[in-house]
Amino acid sequence: MNYSLVLVSIALVFFVLLLAAMQIGRWLGRGSDEKSGSGSAVIEGSVFALLGLLVAFTFSGAAQRMADRRDLLVQEVNAIGTAWLRIDMLDAGHQPVLRAQFRRYVDERINYYRNVADLAHRDAIAAKVGDLQKEIWATSMRAARDSVPPFAVSYAGAVNDMFDVASAQTVAQKVHPPIATYVFLGFLALVAACLVGLNLAAAPRKTLLHQVVYAMVMTVALYIIIDFEFPRIGTIRIDQSDALLAAQREAMVDPVGGGR
């Protein structure tokens, strides 16, 4: 499914709804003048203030969550690189098996990010990643028993950090505000559009430009908010950060022979 196209389609529908709401407001306010609406200024101010506050909070929260996901990916790459280097601290007999498991693990993590928009496939890959984590941990514990204790502890800590960051990233992909937040935000924008129409009803001439500007600004604001929430399926993306993980995978070669 092309999620970008779906999101653009929803934005266009919302844009039309905003224009329609303003026309309804103009129809409801026909025959009124500026003085007749002066008493409702407090109500209108409250609605617009609430709309501005809600847009600001949702925008800020969505942008922060996107930044957190990007930071988690950098932390994951660093954790994988650290654990990979510390394999050298273990008994030499266990290192080849661990390196092969690490490469398969990173391949599946890359595969997970590439298919994060496919919910069913994503969960299947996440289950496979979980199985690989168990394999790596079991092999690591066997290697730790045959290695120098301080080195083994240092390596085990690095592997644990690698798994923890992966789990945090998986959870972060699924953390979003309740759908009711977006429904209420859209509803409030439509109510505000209706109030705009009421005020424009008393205008001596049609102000189509003002209506289009309001509808466009609100539509773009909500589009960006939703795009921030899903930075791997829309226009605003963090896919470029995946290059760090791919580069780490390319660097995961055996010390001798350059195997992959």
Q: What is the 3 state secondary structure string of the chain?
A: CCHHHHHHHHHHHHHHHHHHHHHHHHHHCCCCCCCCCHHHHHHHHHHHHHHHHHHHHHHHHHHHHHHHHHHHHHHHHHHHHHHHHHHHHCCHHHHHHHHHHHHHHHHHHHHHHHCCCCHHHHHHHHHHHHHHHHHHHHHHHHHHHCCCHHHHHHHHHHHHHHHHHHHHHHHHCCCCCCHHHHHHHHHHHHHHHHHHHHHHCCCCCCCHHHHHHHHHHHHHHHHHHHHHHCCCCCCCCCHHHHHHHHHHHHCCCCCCCCCC
pLDDT of 89 > 70? The answer is: yes
- Predicted local distance difference test score (pLDDT) of residue 258: 46
Question: pLDDT per residue over 185-198, tens digit each?
Answer: 999 999 999 988 88
Question: pLDDT per residue over 124-175, tens digit each?
Answer: 898 999 999 999 999 999 999 999 999 999 999 999 999 999 999 888 888 8
- Which pLDDT band, with edges at 50, 70 and 90, does 34 fall under? low
pLDDT of 259 > 50? The answer is: no
Average pLDDT score over the chain: 86
- Which pLDDT band, with edges at 50, 70 and 90, does 31 fall under? low
Global confidence as pTM? 0.79
Cβ atoms of residues 133 and 163 within 8 Å: yes
Cβ atoms of residues 47 and 191 within 8 Å: yes
Question: pLDDT per residue over 223-241, tens digit each?
Answer: 999 888 887 776 766 666 6
- Predicted local distance difference test score (pLDDT) of residue 39: 56
- Which pLDDT band, with edges at 50, 70 and 90, does 35 fall under? low
Cα separation of 123 and 132, whole Å?
Answer: 14
